[in-house]
Chain A
């Protein structure tokens, strides 16, 4: 379904993030005249034109790209994110374990045990929505969001996980923290994790924190 979103944008509603990324990639490869930005979301692609632009032919141009975009997002790079789990770095680990009927150790094993993909970017600079988490690890967000979640916090909510790129308010449950920077406005791309990347979390000991450089060697 394609519907207007304000006078200078269309919202393309799709089944999921893979299809959204596939369409965004196709539009990037075959640009549409007058389109200023394309923003893929969880189940949508926002296509914006200049204000005052006519948008004539825009819907047809998008549909033409949708017809050949396929269902799969371009595959990105392999990323490893070191995480100190629990304790002061992961204040919600024990609560998550209790909610899931697991031990804290089992939560860590479930979180590190499977690769997750960057589904889309949003929320804040450098934030990547990662998924899907194994069914054993799905918890609702905090009823009352934290006013401050430290930079590097690794958190989960529903079927997704992510890393807070900066100190931010947030309602996801924090199970650990990484020393890696997720955002650097002086790099291109400015985000370490971009759509399509496959991310594995790797447990480190708190004593190893300093040994990990802030900027990943493979940015």
Chain B
């Protein structure tokens, strides 16, 4: 089975939900899917193990074709259509040979296209993820282009449907190691700025103060750095290994993927929680991910049969 990139849209790349932890002392970012939670959901819907490699699509306008019939799934902030018709959200999709799946703009920034069997690329430093900045991993170390053909691994597992819900309230944060700007950060009204990518999201809003440099230190996922210009940056998957600016707060691990889905210009509000609450929210997000059930034969006939007949 291969999947062909008909149109990658603004940016599409091969990622996995884990990235490549363990190499940061050599300067290598963790990387991986920017919204790992949605990537894992896409994998579960497609019948894959969580850590399977898939395609991360940015902003929509992307389309893909499979050469033979297969099971795929889309999760995250984009919607999927086949021949202009929407597909049911939160469920595996059976694609017939040659049919084209499009990912369209919806309520977020990134969509995850999982294919049953997974995208089969050679792992580099134990991960299938593309490091776009340094040019290794994934498919030839680069963003996908029209005409790329990606091999798919052997079919396995059972496609599923999801019945859970995802938290939609404020972005929760815990106190960081340099809390002087914490109150201003949490009380501020922010919008995601134009400078938003897989490494981080810059926020527009009140200018924060008290931003003397600190000694370069390792940065956890979700750390909110305040550089000298006073405009905070939420650090995401491709963040550099170290940073030298104060960190008044960290986005909780349950919400980092949600930050990666906020579109430039959209509002962001923060809410302080305790570390214990953060851990509880992580478990709640895991429970929501577990709300999947196998796609039965009924579902296949009722919801999915028509997809195959189209095109």
A120 within 8 A of partner (CB): yes
Task: Write out the residue numbers on chain B whose beta carbons fall within 8 Å of the beta carbon of A30.
Answer: none
* CB–CB B222/A6 < 8 A: yes
Residue of B nearest to A24 (CB): B25
**In the complex, what distance in Å separates the CA atom of A129 from the CA atom of B124?**
24
Whether A126 touches B217, Cβ cut-off 8 Å, given contacts A6-B174, A52-B286, is no
Q: Which residues of B contact A (CB under 8 A)?
A: 21-29, 124-125, 131, 133-137, 174-177, 215-223, 240-242, 247, 250, 252-254, 275, 278-279, 282-283, 286
* CB–CB B215/A8 < 8 A: no
B interface majority secondary structure: loop
* CB–CB A7/B241 < 8 A: no
A8, A38, A41, A45: the one within 8 Å of B220 (CB): A8
Task: Write out the residue numbers on chain A whose beta carbons fall within 8 Å of the beta carbon of B254.
Answer: 51
Min C-beta distance of A165 to chain B, whole Å:
7
* CB–CB A185/B125 < 8 A: yes
**In the complex, what distance in Å separates the CA atom of A196 from the CA atom of B192?**
40
**In the complex, what distance in Å separates the CA atom of A27 from the CA atom of B283?**
28
Task: Write out the residue numbers on chain A whose beta carbons fall within 8 Å of the beta carbon of B275.
Answer: 4, 7
**In the complex, what distance in Å separates the CA atom of A11 from the CA atom of B214?**
13
Interface residues on A, range: 35 or more
* CB–CB A9/B25 < 8 A: no
* CB–CB A11/B217 < 8 A: yes
A5 within 8 A of partner (CB): yes
Residue of B nearest to A7 (CB): B278
A40 within 8 A of partner (CB): yes
A7, A190, A195: the one within 8 Å of B174 (CB): A7
**In the complex, what distance in Å separates the CA atom of A122 from the CA atom of B221?**
15
* CB–CB B22/A37 < 8 A: yes
* Known A123-B27, A123-B242, A166-B135; further 5 A-B contacts with Cβ < 8 A: A6-B221, A37-B22, A41-B216, A42-B217, A126-B27
Task: Write out the residue numbers on chain B whose beta carbons fall within 8 Å of the beta carbon of A45.
Answer: 218
* CB–CB B215/A165 < 8 A: no
1-58 of chain A: CB within 8 A of chain B:
3-9, 11, 24, 36-46, 48, 51-52, 54
**In the complex, what distance in Å separates the CA atom of A36 from the CA atom of B26?**
16
* CB–CB A39/B222 < 8 A: no
Scoring A54, A123, A185 by chain B CB atoms within 10 A of each residue's CB, the highest score goes to: A185
* CB–CB A185/B174 < 8 A: no
Min C-beta distance of A32 to chain B, whole Å:
15
Task: Write out the residue numbers on chain B whose beta carbons fall within 8 Å of the beta carbon of A179.
Answer: none
* CB–CB B279/A46 < 8 A: no
Sorted nearest first, the 7 A-B pairs with minimum C-beta distance are: A39-B218, A46-B218, A122-B242, A6-B250, A7-B278, A51-B253, A41-B217
A-B contact pairs, 25 of them (CB 8 A): A4-B174, A6-B223, A7-B174, A7-B252, A7-B275, A8-B220, A8-B253, A11-B177, A11-B218, A43-B217, A46-B218, A52-B283, A121-B24, A121-B26, A122-B24, A122-B216, A123-B216, A125-B26, A125-B28, A183-B27, A185-B124, A190-B23, A190-B26, A190-B125, A191-B27
Min C-beta distance of B41 to chain A, whole Å:
16
Task: Write out the residue numbers on chain B whose beta carbons fall within 8 Å of the beta carbon of A195.
Answer: 25
* CB–CB A121/B25 < 8 A: yes
Whether A39 touches B25, Cβ cut-off 8 Å, given contacts A3-B177, A11-B217, A44-B215, is yes
**Can you list, as one digit per residue, whether each of A119-147 has a CB less than 8 Å from chain B (1) or not (0)?**
01111111111000000000000000000
A189 within 8 A of partner (CB): yes
Min C-beta distance of B247 to chain A, whole Å:
7
A83 within 8 A of partner (CB): no
* CB–CB B279/A52 < 8 A: yes
Residue of B nearest to A54 (CB): B279
Task: Write out the residue numbers on chain A whose beta carbons fall within 8 Å of the beta carbon of B242.
Answer: 39, 41, 120, 122-123
Task: Write out the residue numbers on chain A whose beta carbons fall within 8 Å of the beta carbon of B26.
Answer: 121, 125-126, 183, 189-191, 194
